[in-house]
Amino acid sequence: MNAVATRQVKILRDDEAITLPESLSLATRFTGLDAWMNFVHNVYQFPVYRLVCNMNDQVEGWLVLTHIQHPVFGNYLATSPFGSYGGFAYASAAAHDALLEKAQTLANDLGVEYVNIRFEAGNETPPNHWIQHPIYSTYVVELASNSDLLLSNFGSDHRNHVRKSIKKGFSIKFGHLDLLNDAYEALAQSMHELGSPYHRKNYLNDMAEAMGDSLEFVVLYGPRNELAGAGVFISQGDMVTNLHANILRRFRSDYAGEFLYWSVISRYCEKSFKVLDLGRSLNGSGNETFKMKWKPRKVPLAYWYYLPKGGPIPELNQKSPKFRFAIWMWQRLPSMVVRMLGPSLIRGIA
């Protein structure tokens, strides 16, 4: 007599190890795997809930939620903390539904204001009790064995801007902890210019140690070897993801962004990666316009919300009207004040 198939969802203990099937590991992205979640927990002490769906002792689904409690930005659960998307993967519709139901129960038990699940299924209709907030997409470039093949596909203006950037005297370095200081300074300065808080340097240091060789810092220098920009790129399988990439304002008119992105594309073509994820942007934003010049495939992201207490979807992004004055004021604060207050704010926007 055959045993009856049983499906079970449980929350793993902190010390409980698990090996995900490769398909689920890739689908959940690095922001849903233990290395990333342990790094986030160690930096900010957020509780992490790892939900696994098993079918007859076979892993069929995976959902990882971080519990953020912040005096300004609220009490919520989210996947992919400080990343664009990830942390939710499933091999069947039944596992998908079972994990979401368990997430609702967890949210109710913890008394959070909402749950935000971010993953790569923006065209999928959310189930009952969940709401899609279609404001973000990511932009995926299919790499080639020779980067010149990609260049020929760009628009003529964009090809000219890339070529002009090469003549401006920029230089670029790829590395790991050897570039930590310069990468942090460039990112912190550029985030200040954009009106956004940023983390302490230990955030990038601990990230690099946790992610190991899969992480590369990229630092861009101007003609006089001054800092012009930086980025953080993380590889998984045959994909490389742009986690951060910012250019200091005074270098933008010299096509510094084009130089950085073209250097990155050329490097990862040479290293035989298949895909470069340029990272998320708000739909209709200037960042999206810039990324679309690289002829990517635009992928709408699922940003699903469960609101156990009702109310509007939270607007924790730079287009929110309630943040406009805060952004304007932050841009004008002294660097010393920004560096002191920023980490306590940014920890709440996971």
Tell me how far CA of residue 43 lies from CA of 37, 49, 128, 347, in angstroms: 10, 16, 35, 9
Query: What pLDDT, in 10s, does the model give residues 293-348?
Result: 999 999 999 999 999 999 999 987 777 777 888 899 999 999 999 999 999 999 99
Share of the chain above pLDDT 70, in %: 99
Looking at the predicted structure, is the pLDDT value of residue 183 above 50?
Answer: yes
Concatenating the DSSP letter of every residue in 317-346 gives STT-GGGHHHHHHHHHS-HHHHHHHHHHHH
Looking at the predicted structure, is the pLDDT value of residue 86 above 50?
Answer: yes
Domain boundaries, the chain: 7-137+301-331, 144-273
> What residues have CB less than 8 Å from 349, skipping those under 6 apart?
73, 316
Mean pLDDT along residues 89-94 = 96
Q: What is the DSSP letter of 177?
A: G
Mean pLDDT along residues 4-33 = 92
Give CATH superfamily name and number for 7-137+301-331.
Answer: Gcn5-related N-acetyltransferase (GNAT) (3.40.630.30)
Mean pLDDT along residues 181-198 = 97
Mean pLDDT along residues 272-298 = 97
Q: Give the Cβ contact number of residue 59 at 10 Å.
A: 18
Structure tokens at 38: 């342990």
pLDDT band at 4 (very low <50, low <70, confident <90, very high): low
Strands 74-78 and 58-70 come out as antiparallel
CATH architecture of the domain covering 144-273: 3-Layer(aba) Sandwich (3.40)
First CA to last CA distance, the chain: 49
pLDDT band at 82 (very low <50, low <70, confident <90, very high): very high
**In this predicted structure, what is the pLDDT of residue 1?**
41
**In the Cβ-directed half-sphere of 196, how many Cα atoms lie within 13 Å?**
16
**In this predicted structure, what is the pLDDT of residue 22?**
95
For the four alpha carbons of 130, 134, 135 and 138, in that order, the dihedral sign comes to: positive
Looking at the predicted structure, is the pLDDT value of residue 3 above 70?
Answer: no
Query: What pLDDT, in 10s, does the model give residues 143-177?
Result: 998 999 999 999 999 999 999 999 999 999 999 99
**In this predicted structure, what is the pLDDT of residue 5?**
65
Question: Which of 29, 39, 55 has the alpha carbon at shortest distance from 117?
Answer: 29
Query: What pLDDT, in 10s, does the model give residues 208-256?
Result: 999 999 999 999 999 999 999 999 999 999 999 999 999 999 999 999 9
**In this predicted structure, what is the pLDDT of residue 230?**
98
170 CA to centre of own chain? 27
Mean pLDDT along residues 17-39 = 96
pTM of the full structure: 0.95
Q: Please give the mean pLDDT across all residues of the chain.
A: 95
Query: What pLDDT, in 10s, does the model give residues 241-251?
Result: 999 999 999 99
φ, ψ (nearest 5 deg) of residue 129: 80, -5
74 CA to centre of own chain? 20
**In this predicted structure, what is the pLDDT of residue 320?**
75
The answer to whether the 7-137+301-331 and 144-273 domains have the same CATH topology is yes
Question: Which of 10, 26, 140, 29 has the alpha carbon at shortest distance from 82?
Answer: 29
Dist. CA 304–CA 130, nearest whole Å:
6
Between residues 273 and 3, which one has the greater pLDDT? Answer: 273
* 55: helix, strand or coil: strand
Lowest model confidence (mean pLDDT) among 111-120, 267-276, 319-328 = 319-328
